[in-house]
Chain A
Amino acid sequence: MSLGPYLLRRFGGLLLVLLVTSFLVFGLLYLAPGSPLAFILGPRGGTPEQIAAVTEQYHLNDPFFVRYAAWLGDILRGDLGYSIVYRQDVSALISSRVGTTLALVSLAAIIISVVGIAVGTFAALRGGWSDQLTSTLAAIGLSTPSFVIGVALISVFAVGLGWFPTFGSGTGGVDTLWHLTLPALALSVASAAYLARITRAAVLEESGREHVQTATVRGLATGHIVRHHVLRNSLIPIVTVLGLTIATLIAGAVVVENVFALDGLGSLLVRAILQRDFAVVQAVILVLVVAFVVVNAIVDFLYTFIDPRIALGSRQ
């Protein structure tokens, strides 16, 4: 399949999934006990203006599918609704916080790729007790929830040694990096451990391949063989896991942002849930799901560049 039709088909599939998830997110409101109006306004009740605003925002006077279409239309126009708690447009709330989450997830993704691939390769090539040690550490890292690591990091490096700030996301630039280091570490550990495992297995498998023998018998340097043949050929499993991991990091950020009191999408979501700020809940969940789906699609697309044998779209 050539590039154009592939992208078109891929994009179509993406839209379909997004349509279904948006419908589900929209439908959530009707799973809730009580009438939508009562649910959104909650025990606070509401002023006549609020009732009118909610009725308009959710098009409550229209039939169900018209409501959905209208709601979807609003979203596509960038209108994510109005937060009753913050008395602000949801899109403004989200855009002011998305940067923190993006920075956190990106930093974590970098840590995961570097540490995971390096440790996994090292363990596979060295073998012996360094392999045993890294495998054990990876198993422990994999078993440790991010919030436990977050609490431990704050206790030791922020409260105990005072090297890092305890809370907040900093004022930008290097300060933000400094504030986000511990959170990104907490977010990375489990995924880096998992990636190290996958890398180790992939490198071990590729090192035993016949074409590596060919490279060896041609007298190529070990470093060259590791980079150009072993690691290069291990990229498929590595990128798969990395993509999956980055996609789940977006959800993992919800927890870590709360540990470190970062002002990102995750902490916004948790507060919105606790305060029954339903428009915010819907919008943030929609953003999370879209990000998750898009990252997965990008990974799928990358396969074709990594392995020439995989034709576009053949890997479903």
Chain B
Amino acid sequence: MTIPSTTSLAVADVVRERRVRPGFARTTIERLGTVGCIAAGVLLVIALAATFAPIVAPYDPDFPDLLASLSGPSPAHLLGADALGRDILSRLIWGARITLAGPGLVILIATVVGVLLALLAAWRGGRVDTAISWLLDVLFAVPGIVFGLIAVAIWGPSLATVVGGLAIAYVPYVARVVRGAALRERNMPYVSAAWLQGHSGTGITFTQILPNVQPIVVAQAVSSLGFAVIDLAAVSFLGLGVQPPTADLGLMVKSGFDSVLRGQPIEAIAAGSLIVVIVWCVTIIGDRLTSSARSIR
């Protein structure tokens, strides 16, 4: 590692290393590529519909129209009604809310905690790094969904419990990748330049290193989001997450499964497909962001 000897050189180094980014929208579109943009578009439509569920959904998701119970598609119920006569389309739209918001929260918490741990480990190094890496290894030793189940075993079945448990499970996935990237940045000349100029460790970490690892953080968060959607839906499917009568896609597959055995597969197909579409979109976007984050290096 070379440490620039004069301040002017150091400044030049810092300026050069700060990656100037042209307009946010344009670079994002470039990074996503055609397929990624389609996936983002689909996801946006689903997210908007879910956000404005009260306006968009044709029915109250909990309103039972017992006469329509297990009916197929009709003008009144575009996707038919479930065993209790509730409108499937409306429940899908409301269900997408939880299916997006729950994992979103999981990843948000895991990312904030993971990034803080990773930056701390990368900047302090030595024993702090060893301790944090070891903690992450231990967390890794437990499969993700088991954390959700453990949380439920202690605090009882509920969405909040599962979100909390899964958030812990996803911390090492974010932290490991970010720690590696932050370590590489830490050894860059621009960091030593900033150090020589008298910036504090915390300052450098947040104003220099964090912006430079940001693409990796975002890519890793989005990639993990797909798995979180699957895990959370699975826990709900098991009856340990979101509790009925709340509309949730995992729960809908569960109740739709009973309807399948009674000859009406629409609810299970619709809810299952929506989960697949959401996860597929998220995964595609995650893949694109990951490869573009790598190619920046």
Whether chain A touches chain B in the assembled complex (some CB pair under 8 Å): yes
* Shortest CB distance B85–A (Å): 21
Cα distance A140–B39 in the bound complex, in angstroms: 13
In the complex, are the beta carbons of A151 and B239 less than 8 A apart?
Answer: no
| A26 CB within 8 Å of chain B | no
- Interface flags for B253-290 (1: CB within 8 Å of A; 0: not) read 10011001100010011001001110110011000000
CB <8 Å contact, A285 and B150 = yes
User: Which of B142, B155, B226, B284 has the most CB atoms of chain A within a 10 A radius of its CB?
Assistant: B142
Cα distance A18–B100 when bound, in Å? 35
Interface size on A, residues (CB 8 A): 46
Tell me whether B146 and A251 are in contact (CB under 8 A). yes
Please tell me which one of the listed residues A32, A159, A259 contacts residue B261 in the complex, with CB atoms under 8 A apart: A159
Asked if B143 and A288 sit within 8 Å, CB to CB, the answer is yes
Identify which of B71-79, B107-115, B184-192, B230-238 touches chain A.
B230-238
How far does the alpha carbon of A151 sit from the alpha carbon of B234 in the complex, in Å? Answer: 12
Contacts of A24 in B (CB 8 A): 138
Does A17 contact B138, Cβ atoms closer than 8 Å? Answer: yes
Pick from B137, B234, B275, B276 the residue with the most CB of A within 10 Å: B234
A278: interface (CB < 8 Å): yes
- Specify which chain A residues have a CB less than 8 angstroms from the CB of B239 in the assembled complex: 270, 274
By beta carbon, the residue of chain A nearest B287 is A139
Q: Known interface pairs A151-B253, A274-B239, A274-B240. Does A143 touch B143 (Cβ–Cβ under 8 Å)?
A: no
Asked if A258 is an interface residue, CB under 8 A from chain B, the answer is: yes
Cα A154 to Cα B149 in complex, Å, equals: 25
Partner of A151, one of B240, B272, B283: B272
Query: A24 to B137, alpha carbons, bound, how many Å?
Result: 14
A4 at the interface (CB under 8 A from B): no
Q: Given the interface contacts A143-B276, A155-B260, does A251 sit within 8 Å of B145 by beta carbon?
A: yes
Interface string of A143-169 (1 = CB under 8 A from B): 111111001101100010000001000
A205 to chain B, nearest CB (A): 15
Given contacts A143-B280, A151-B272, contact A21 B141 (CB under 8 A): yes
The answer to whether A139 and B283 have CB atoms under 8 Å apart is yes
On whether the beta carbons of A251 and B253 are closer than 8 Å, the reply is: no
Q: Which residues of the other chain, B, contact A31 by a CB distance below 8 angstroms?
A: 154
In the complex, whether A28 has a CB less than 8 A from a CB of chain B is: yes
Q: Say whether, besides A32-B154, A151-B272, A143 and B283 are in contact (CB < 8 Å).
A: yes
- Residues of chain B lying within 8 A (CB to CB) of residue A28: 150, 153-154
Say how far A116's CB is from chain B's closest CB, in angstroms.
17
**Is residue B88 contacting chain A, with contact meaning CB distance below 8 A?**
no
Instruction: Check A255 for interface membership: any CB of B closer than 8 A.
Output: yes
Q: How distant is the Cα of A220 from the Cα of B275 in the complex, in angstroms?
A: 48
Interface residues on B, range: 35 or more
Task: State in angstroms the CA–CA spacing of A142 and B5 once bound together.
Answer: 52
A140 to B55 Cα, complex, angstroms: 31
By the criterion CB–CB under 8 Å, are B261 and A292 in contact? no
Bound Cα distance from A162 to B239, whole angstroms = 27
Shortest distance between the CB of A249 and any CB in chain B (Å): 9
User: Does B152 lie within 8 Å of A289, measured CB to CB?
Assistant: no
A188–B148 Cα distance when bound, in Å, is: 22
B234 near A146 (CB under 8 angstroms)?
A: yes
CB within 8 Å for A143 and B233 given contacts A159-B260, A247-B143, A273-B153: no
Q: Given A155-B265, A248-B143, A273-B240 in contact, is the A140-B280 Cβ separation under 8 Å?
A: yes
What residues on B are CB-neighbors of A20 within 8 Å? 138
B-contacting residues, A259-289, CB 8 Å: 259, 269-270, 272-274, 276, 278, 281, 285, 288-289
The answer to whether residues A151 and B238 also contact, given A273-B149, A289-B146 and a CB cut-off of 8 A, is no
Instruction: Decide yes or no whether A215 CB sits under 8 A from chain B.
Output: no
Residue B157 is within 8 A (CB to CB) of chain A in the complex: yes
Given contacts A273-B153, A278-B153, whether A155 and B268 have CB atoms under 8 Å apart is yes
Report whether A151 and B226 are in contact in the complex, using a CB–CB cutoff of 8 Å: no
Bound Cα distance A21, B134 (Å) = 12
B144 within 8 A of A: yes
16 A–B pairs (Cβ distance < 8 Å), ordered by A: A24-B138, A139-B283, A140-B276, A143-B283, A145-B230, A145-B237, A152-B272, A154-B257, A159-B260, A251-B143, A251-B144, A254-B145, A255-B145, A259-B257, A276-B153, A285-B150
**Further pairs besides A147-B233, A255-B238, A274-B239: 14, Cβ < 8 Å:** A24-B138, A140-B276, A144-B275, A148-B272, A148-B275, A155-B265, A247-B143, A251-B146, A255-B237, A258-B238, A273-B149, A276-B153, A281-B153, A288-B142
Question: What 3 pairs across the A-B complex have the smallest Cβ distances?
Answer: A251-B143, A143-B279, A143-B280
Q: Name A's B-contacting residues (CB within 8 A).
A: 17, 20-21, 24, 28, 31-33, 139-140, 142-148, 151-152, 154-155, 159, 166, 247-248, 250-252, 254-255, 258-259, 269-270, 272-274, 276, 278, 281, 285, 288-289, 292-293, 296
Q: Which residues of B pack against A, CB within 8 Å?
A: 137-138, 141-146, 149-150, 152-155, 157, 226, 230, 233-234, 237-240, 250, 253, 256-257, 260-261, 265, 268-269, 272, 275-277, 279-280, 283-284
